[in-house]
Amino acid sequence: MFDFSDPRGWQNITNLLLLAVALVAAVYVGIGAYKQARAKSRAMAGSFGHEDPHTLVLPDLGVTMADGGEKVEKKNG
C-alpha cells in the first residue's frame, strides 16, 4: 500500500496521522462543548424555583423574588 522507499509514501503516512490527530482533537472539543452546554442548560432549568413559583435563582444575583423580596405565604382555606 505504501512504498517506504518513496518520500511521498512517508508524506502520505504523515498526512494520515495528522488527520487522525485533528479528528481526535475535534471530537475532544465537541464533547467538551456538549458537556458545557448540557451543564448550562441543566443549571438554567433548575434555576426557575420549582418549589416556590415566586422565586428565581440566578447564579450572578442569587435568589430574586417577583414581589420585591417579601415571601407571600399561602393561605389555607
Residue 9 CB neighbour total at 10 angstroms: 13
User: pLDDT tier at 77 (50, 70, 90 boundaries)?
Assistant: low
CB 37 within 8 A of CB 45: no
> Could you tell me if residue 19 is inside a domain?
yes
- The whole domain housing 46 covers 7-65
> Could you tell me if residue 71 is inside a domain?
no
> Could you tell me if residue 21 is inside a domain?
yes
Q: What does the mean pLDDT of the chain come to?
A: 75
> Could you tell me if residue 73 is inside a domain?
no
User: pLDDT tier at 51 (50, 70, 90 boundaries)?
Assistant: low
> Could you tell me if residue 77 is inside a domain?
no
> Could you tell me if residue 2 is inside a domain?
no
Q: Give the count of domains, the chain.
A: 1
Give me the pLDDT at residue 49, please.
45
Per-range mean pLDDT, top range of 3-7, 12-16, 17-21, 72-76: 17-21
- Measured CA to CA in angstroms, residue 4 lies from 17, 60, 68 at distances of 15, 60, 76
> Could you tell me if residue 76 is inside a domain?
no
> Could you tell me if residue 75 is inside a domain?
no
In the chain, pLDDT over 90 holds for what percent of residues?
A: 29
